[in-house]
Amino acid sequence: MALRSSQGPAVKSYGAVDREVLALPPDVDEERGATGAGAAGDEGAGFTGTVANIMKICVGTGVLALPYAFARGGLAFSVAVLVAIALWNQLSVQWLLRSEEAVKEKLARAGEGERRKLEGVGMYSKIAYVALGTGGIQLIDGMLVVTIYGVCVAYMIFCAQLLGDSPMSLGRLMNTEDEFYTHLFNCLACTVAVTPPSLYRDVSFLVPYSKAGLGVLGFVLACMFYMGFSQGGDRNVPLDAHTLLPTSFNDFAAYFGVAVFCFGGTPLMFPVKDGMRRSMQHRFKDANCAALMGAALLYAIVGCGLGYIFQEKGGVPQNVLQSLPPTTELAGGDLRTLLATCMRLGYLAVTLLSFPLTFVALAGMVEDRVSAGSSEPAGHFIQRELIRLLLLAAVALFAILIPEFGLVVSLLGCFSVTILSFALPPFFLMRICNEYTYKLSIAATGGLIVCVCTTIQTGAAVVEKLLHRA
């Protein structure tokens, strides 16, 4: 759900869908924590539950691009940078928590009119407002739109690839071997499949299917290790500088973007924290650190393990599931055939059912922005459906033109996720608390420089792919 302050900009709010995904109790409000009976009973997630909630935010489909990223970045270098990114993320969370305390103090001293302007606005956007005014909310709003749109495109590419390697591929059914048309038909089929639920105002009925995604992902990763070892292949790939280190800045940028994307949950930390028991909230930083280290360990195992296994077999694709031969090319009747088919079709179903949950957040923000300058009331049926159909068409078009799952994930990580998770937190703290320390200045400036350099590199790769397709 998107809410609009009296200043005009639309901002992402954490509504019922986000609350169910994060397993937040119903009596926990994002801004006030536990209320009513919940406050008296100190209800909410404990330390372990909070760690699990943070890991649920971090771990997702982007993990399947990590083997490709590790192969590009070098196995040893990738592990070292992965730990550095996790630590940087932890620092960003600490800076945001300090900014939160300062913002609450400032708003408590502000007038009633000032507080009303920010009713229904998430804490991250409140921090941005205190730091930069209305422009800060617009900045956060824009970065969220870019990020969610990019995630939708990545989902669409991923689904089309899964469908293309399955017995249900439309390219195979239409007897075409042209890769472009095969991908085109499969993207269109996936778009048609997700359109009806994406037009619903309330898609919370899909939340249980989305929650199954982590279980399916675990099953897929376990099967990938099994099938990678069981297939055999060339076992003579040396662990030399080419394998352990990146060979160019292009390789580094490709790795960095995917790795940062996989730690992109920083903007969602506030509802997780407020869903924690009040008596435990002083340990939120410890819970966040434990979750980040757990995610980093999982990423290192998946990235190094599958990255090395499938690098031995001639290269790692951007979606590691494409390392397996298409189902119709596997020897029939054996366990590997069954596993490959189950992985592709199972993950395809879960991703198609999860897509509307992400898409409606994007649609809600755009709808609020459009309705701000329209005579139609917010949520008008015809306007809403038209906007959503146009957004679906925009997602499908980009997915058709750039069928590069890892490249899209990397571009998002280098650009919007780096800005939201790493560049803005130290900058906001400096602005709000007038704390212009050397450490914060280096963090903010370094985050911005890394963002610009890696975004230019990955953006150039996107343009190159577009020109090649043209």
SS3 3: strand
Q: Are strands 33-34 and 28-29 parallel, antiparallel or unpaired?
A: antiparallel
* CA distances from residue 8 to 274, 368, 371 in whole angstroms, order as listed: 26, 9, 10
165 CB-side CA count, 13 A: 25
pLDDT attached to residue 372:
63
Best CA proximity match to 235, nearest among 289, 167, 312, 291: 312
Q: Map out the domains of the chain as residue ranges.
A: 45-371+378-468
Helix (H) or strand (E) holding 2: strand 2-4
Per-residue tens of pLDDT for the chain, all 470 residues: 333 333 333 333 333 334 433 444 333 444 444 433 344 446 788 899 999 889 988 998 899 999 999 999 999 999 999 999 999 999 999 999 999 999 999 988 887 777 788 887 889 999 999 999 999 999 999 999 999 999 999 999 999 999 988 888 887 777 777 888 899 999 999 999 999 999 987 788 887 777 778 888 888 899 888 888 776 555 566 777 788 999 999 999 999 999 999 998 888 889 899 889 888 898 999 999 999 999 999 999 999 999 888 876 567 899 998 887 776 554 455 677 778 888 888 899 989 988 998 999 899 888 887 776 555 554 567 888 899 999 999 999 999 999 999 999 999 999 999 999 999 999 999 999 998 889 999 999 999 999 999 999 999 999 998 887 76
pLDDT attached to residue 333:
56
DSSP code string of 350-415: HHHHHHHHHHHHHHHHHHHHHHHTSSSPTT-HHHHHHHHHHHHHHHHHHHHH---HHHHHHHHIII
CA distance 367 to 379: 7
CA distance 316 to 306: 9
DSSP code string of 175-199: T---HHHHHHHHHHHHHHHHHHHHT
Residue labelled with tokens 């031969």? 325
Q: What is the pTM of this model?
A: 0.86
CA distance 287 to 270: 13
SS3 245: coil
CA distance 76 to 43: 43
Residues forming beta bridges with residue 34, ordered by sequence position? 28
CA distance 280 to 53: 15
CA distance 163 to 344: 7
CB atoms within 10 A of CB 10: 24
Using CB atoms within 10 Å of the CB of residue 94, give its burial: 0 to 12 exposed, 13 to 18 middle, 19+ buried. middle
CATH number of the structural domain 45-371+378-468: 1.20.1740
